[in-house]
Amino acid sequence: MSKIFSRSVGVVTLVAGAVGIVAGTMSLVTGILLVSKHRAKKGQTSPIDELQVKN
């Protein structure tokens, strides 16, 4: 009984981790796209150039 339980917990943890990674990647990509669209309207080159100027 405990063997099945621990295995299901492991699977749930793996799935939750995978979902978290996918969700994080998607939000990151969405954020980058939004920023680049916003910057393009202003006429600036790219967010990367902007970051290098700040640092």
Question: What's the pLDDT at 5?
Answer: 84
Question: What's the pLDDT at 17?
Answer: 96
pTM greater than the 0.85 cutoff? no
DSSP state of 43: T
Question: What's the pLDDT at 47?
Answer: 59
Distance CA 46, CA 29 (A): 15
Which residues in the chain show pLDDT less than 50? Answer: none
Question: What's the pLDDT at 42?
Answer: 63
Residue 12, token pair as written in the block: 């749930």
50: number of Cβ within 10 Å: 13
Question: What's the pLDDT at 21?
Answer: 96
In sequence order, what are the residues at sequence separation of 6 or more whose Cβ sits closer than 8 angstroms to the Cβ of residue 39?
45, 46, 47, 50
Question: What's the pLDDT at 27?
Answer: 94
Element (H, E) at 45: none
